[in-house]
Amino acid sequence: MHFSAIARIPGDSILSLMDAYARDPNPRKFDLGVGVYKDAQGLTPVLSAVKQAERFLLDHQKSKTYVSGHGDVAFGRLVSELVLGKDSPLLARERAGATQTPGGTGALRLAGEFIAHCLPGRGIWLSDPTWPIHESIFAEVGLKVSHYPYVGSDNRLDVEAMLLAMEDIPHGDVLLLHACCHNPTGFDLRQQDWQRVLDVVKRRELLPLIDFAYQGFGDGLDEDAWGVRLFARELPELLITSSCSKNFGLYRERTGALIACTHDAEKLLDVRSQLAGLARNLWSTPPDHGAAVVATILGDPQLKSLWADEVEHMRSRIAQLRAGLVEALAPHGLAKRFAHIGEQRGMFSYTGLSPEQVDRLRDEQSVYMVRSGRANVAGIDASRLDELAAAIAKVC
């Protein structure tokens, strides 16, 4: 038999959590596990701007032939403008270009392949903790993965420890940063922190790879790009991965981009030739539908404005849920202990609950979250905040 030595590996822990949630007969259960945005009805809706763009495409799309290795040209330009700013000098000087990828995950994988093939010997440094897929994706391409501290044992962002550790990163290594809405913690760098990280990056000649998966979910579409744009202005070279899964609600359409920034237009052509070659062996050419939707939206002022309003609506709902949960915890004497939930950004919160407390919440209260204590705040039903706060108080 060919397959007899193949063992079973454990499934993704979030997917097993989703299964356990689905099996739980309790009608008052809470799903704070999986990382998708949910509206007041508990649904992950198709945005109106997306529906309108899809109708337009249905009527006007003339062909389903392959797009190029870098994807749709309009998508690449518009997503680069969204990330770097419409007036970015990098775009004017053709120092930045996007390669369309299957989601942000595809962009990260392509970045990993690029580093492994074109920058041999470079290690990559991830925040501790980080999104678990960062750990596996870069290990998978053969990069040496190391960590810098990010959140201390007191569940607070420890900028000093982070900067101190960055001073020891070998020259030329790759530094992965989350642009905003850090997954899993929700703790983001402040502007002065970005500036200090930039100083270390320059001094140690590191190559930043910025993962931008939640643009618009933190403080706003432009506000969330502050650190990315600072680095793009100040550094000759930079890699950025952008995901359209959350802010366009296009999760299953697998839409994203790897944006390479180089110190001149000539070098961009070299880098992009390598990226197209690597992508050819990964997925050949990227999936089109989501990117065509994004290009349709961003290329039409009315649709773009409708979409920006929808992103703002999702962003403010998450901010209100954060504030509401802290308020609901107050009568239990827990407002101070969980004040950080109101300060964090994006869908996720490192609550500070221990794995044992998470287990008890699941077993005794039907509240589902990952064992690290990460809760998807965007998964909460606003009308049930008091109920959730009471459940948390029972295990604290």
As annotated, the active-site residues are: 131, 211, 246
Q: Round to whole Å and give the CA distance between 242 and 250.
A: 13
Residue from the set 80, 243, 247, 365 that interacts with ligand PLP by CB under 6 A: 243
Going 144 to 145 to 148 to 153, the CA torsion angle's sign is negative
Residue from the set 33, 35, 112, 287 that interacts with ligand PLP by CB under 6 A: 35
Helix, coil or strand: residue 99:
strand
Examine residue 104 and tell whether it contacts ligand PLP (CB under 6 A): yes
Span from 102-110, 116-124, 196-204, 381-389 in contact with ligand PLP (CB under 6 A): 102-110
Span from 41-49, 67-75, 243-251, 311-319 in contact with ligand PLP (CB under 6 A): 243-251
Q: How far is CA 254 from the centre of its chain?
A: 13
Q: How many CB atoms lie under 10 A from the CB of residue 208?
A: 21
CB of 33 to ligand PLP, least distance (A): 12
Q: How many CB atoms lie under 10 A from the CB of residue 34?
A: 17
Give me the 141-180 binding string for ligand PLP, x by CB under 6 A, dash otherwise.
-------------------------------------x--
CB of 250 to ligand PLP, least distance (A): 8
Residue from the set 30, 37, 75, 131 that interacts with ligand PLP by CB under 6 A: 131
> Using the 8-state DSSP alphabet, how is residue 151 labeled?
B
96 within 8 A of 88, measured Cβ to Cβ:
yes
Nearer to ligand PLP, 212 or 226 (CB): 212
Examine residue 127 and tell whether it contacts ligand PLP (CB under 6 A): no
**Residues binding ligand PLP: number (CB under 6 A):** 13
Examine residue 245 and tell whether it contacts ligand PLP (CB under 6 A): yes
| Strands ordered across the beta sheet of 174-178 | 96-101, 256-261, 238-243, 207-212, 174-178, 124-128, 145-149
Helix, coil or strand: residue 148:
strand
344 within 8 A of 350, measured Cβ to Cβ:
yes
Block residue for tokens 């050419």: 285
CB of 132 to ligand PLP, least distance (A): 9
By CB under 6 A, name the binding residues for ligand PLP: 35, 103-105, 131, 178, 183, 211, 213, 243, 245, 251, 256
